[in-house]
């Protein structure tokens, strides 16, 4: 997204256009009027990534436009980033400019910040990092009160830890999340809170047990667990399932069973087509759970055909989508057996065409 598109004075107009487009995609399925969840017009993004441009003594954060990928655009202000990142950017670049151990062959820089006030900075290099780099980076981390990681080809140096801790207030409770460097996290934390609260509100009356696919680091899993007897949460990524288990322990929640399985493998297990040793960790067989509802938050490609068929066997489906087009494609099949009871639109990415959607579907 070019920064020239960031026009806070036009935020409401742009949001109206996006919500109309997303609603039109789902109109054939007769959803109710969507609930609209706004972002802050500025200061909303918890992650930022820049290339670093060296020109003599000068060092700049730069980005590139798609139509001119070879022309760097210096970034002196980044209004979409949260306050911690905005505050750190000038302090950090001034320190890097004058320190050759930190500056030499630095080509990329990444920020990961939290509402809880922690920030992790990754410095990426075209050279091997040595003891001098580590010494200078440790001092920089102490001075800026941040976590720092150094990366180069086949090298990752973690000075203290490779994660930050986020604390999200959800429906009167606070949840702690360990967010690892270069792992997926929701980029707009305040809108993420609204998404979680919307989902919790919609499932509050469902009862029974919940099956969750694509659980990631437990972003939805932890708060949703309050509303079910048991939650079976699945995720294929080793890094994400590791974080989810740590987050479950950190929040002392005991009714979640986290299993590393893909959506396809879950479908095969429920259908009795395959047995998985990983499911032996469950206190009882998978099919003995009272699974009345399924929660899915798939990648942009949406659900594949076997997963569509599997979720359609549930009385209630909560579907969070980062791509309204693939959601509409999945609904062509799912809405043969289910109707949309609730519809939410969440502006995770202001000033872009992207719109996050949530639907609660119930069996007809």
- Collapse the DSSP code of 291 into the 3-class scheme (helix H, G, I; strand E, B; otherwise coil) and give the result: strand
Task: Specify the pLDDT at position 69.
Answer: 77
Catalytic entry in 118, 212, 356, 357: 356
Q: Which is nearest to 275 in space by CA: 285, 263, 283, 288? A: 285
Rg (CA), the chain: 22
CA–CA separation, 175 vs 177, rounded Å? 7
Task: Say which CATH number the domain at 231 has.
Answer: 3.40.50.150
Residue 182 located in a structural domain: no
For residue 129, give its domain range.
47-164
- How many percent of the chain have pLDDT more than 70? 100
37 and 51 together in one domain = no
Of 149, 164, 179, the residue that ends a domain is: 164
Q: Kindly state the average pLDDT of the residues 343-353.
A: 96
356 among known catalytic residues: yes
What is the per-residue pLDDT across 221-278, written as a single tens digit (0 to 9) for each?
Answer: 999 999 999 999 999 999 999 999 999 999 999 999 999 999 999 999 998 888 898 9
What is the per-residue pLDDT across 133-152, written as a single tens digit (0 to 9) for each?
Answer: 999 999 999 999 999 999 99
90 and 108 together in one domain = yes
Cβ(37)–Cβ(192) under 8 Å? no
Q: Say whether pLDDT at 293 is over 90.
A: yes
313 and 344 together in one domain = yes
State the residue for tokens 């934390």: 189
What is the per-residue pLDDT across 52-97, written as a single tens digit (0 to 9) for each?
Answer: 999 999 999 999 887 777 889 999 899 999 999 999 999 999 999 9
- State the first-to-last Cα distance of the chain, in angstroms, to the nearest integer: 41
322 among known catalytic residues: yes
What is the per-residue pLDDT across 317-338, written as a single tens digit (0 to 9) for each?
Answer: 999 999 999 999 999 999 999 9
87 and 113 together in one domain = yes
CA–CA separation, 27 vs 264, rounded Å? 29
* Residue 209 binned pLDDT confidence (cut-offs 50, 70, 90): very high
Task: Specify the pLDDT at position 230.
Answer: 97
Domain count, the chain: 2
**Token pair for residue 154?**
């086949």
Of 148, 164, 180, the residue that ends a domain is: 164
CA–CA separation, 111 vs 147, rounded Å? 10
State the residue for tokens 């505050």: 87
Q: Kindly state the average pLDDT of the residues 297-309.
A: 94
Catalytic entry in 200, 322, 335, 357: 322
CA–CA separation, 96 vs 92, rounded Å? 6
88 and 195 together in one domain = no
Where are any strands of DSSP class E within the chain? 35-37, 47-55, 58-65, 68-74, 106-113, 119-125, 147-152, 155-158, 163-170, 173-180, 209-213, 231-234, 256-259, 291-296, 316-321, 338-346, 356-363
Task: Specify the pLDDT at position 172.
Answer: 94
Q: Kindly state the average pLDDT of the residues 164-173.
A: 96
Task: Say which CATH number the domain at 70 has.
Answer: 2.40.50.1070
- Helix (H), strand (E) counts: the chain: 10, 17
The model's pTM: 0.95
314 CB burial (10 A radius; 0-12, 13-18, 19+): buried
* Strands 147-152 vs 119-125: parallel, antiparallel or unpaired: parallel
90 and 119 together in one domain = yes
Task: Specify the pLDDT at position 301.
Answer: 93
- Collapse the DSSP code of 91 into the 3-class scheme (helix H, G, I; strand E, B; otherwise coil) and give the result: helix
């Amino acid at each position: 997204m070019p920064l020239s598109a960031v026009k806070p004075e036009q935020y409401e107009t742009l949001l109206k256009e996006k919500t109309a487009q997303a609603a039109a995609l789902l109109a054939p399925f007769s959803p109710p009027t969507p609930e609209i969840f706004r972002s802050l017009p500025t200061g909303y993004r918890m992650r930022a990534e820049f290339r670093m441009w060296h020109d003599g003594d000068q060092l700049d954060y730069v980005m590139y436009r798609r139509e001119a990928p070879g022309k760097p655009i210096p970034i002196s202000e980044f209004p979409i980033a949260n306050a911690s990142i905005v505050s750190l950017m000038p302090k950090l670049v001034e320190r890097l400019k004058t320190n050759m151990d930190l500056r030499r062959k630095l080509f990329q820089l990444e920020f990961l910040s939290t509402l809880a006030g922690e920030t992790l900075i990754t410095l990426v290099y075209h050279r091997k990092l040595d003891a001098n780099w580590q010494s200078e980076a440790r001092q920089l981390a102490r001075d800026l009160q941040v976590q720092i990681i150094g990366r180069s080809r086949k090298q990752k140096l973690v000075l203290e830890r490779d994660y930050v801790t986020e604390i999200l207030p959800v429906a009167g409770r606070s949840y702690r999340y360990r967010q690892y460097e270069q792992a997926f996290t929701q980029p707009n934390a305040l809108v993420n809170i609204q998404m979680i609260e919307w989902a919790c509100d919609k499932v509050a009356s469902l009862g029974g047990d919940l099956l969750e696919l694509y659980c990631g680091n437990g972003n939805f899993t932890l708060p949703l667990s309050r509303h079910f007897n048991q939650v079976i949460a699945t995720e294929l990524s080793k890094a994400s399932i590791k974080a989810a288990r740590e987050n479950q322990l950190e929040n002392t929640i005991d009714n979640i069973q986290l299993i590393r399985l893909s959506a396809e493998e879950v479908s095969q297990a429920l259908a009795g087509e395959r047995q998985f040793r990983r499911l032996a960790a469950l206190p009882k067989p998978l099919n003995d759970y009272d699974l009345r509802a399924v929660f899915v938050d798939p990648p942009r490609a949406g659900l594949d055909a076997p997963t569509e068929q599997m979720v359609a066997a549930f009385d209630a489906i909560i579907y969070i989508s980062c791509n309204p087009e693939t959601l509409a494609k999945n609904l062509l099949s799912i809405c043969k057996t289910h109707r949309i009871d609730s519809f939410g639109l969440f502006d995770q990415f202001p000033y872009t065409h992207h719109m996050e959607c949530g639907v609660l579907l119930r069996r007809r």
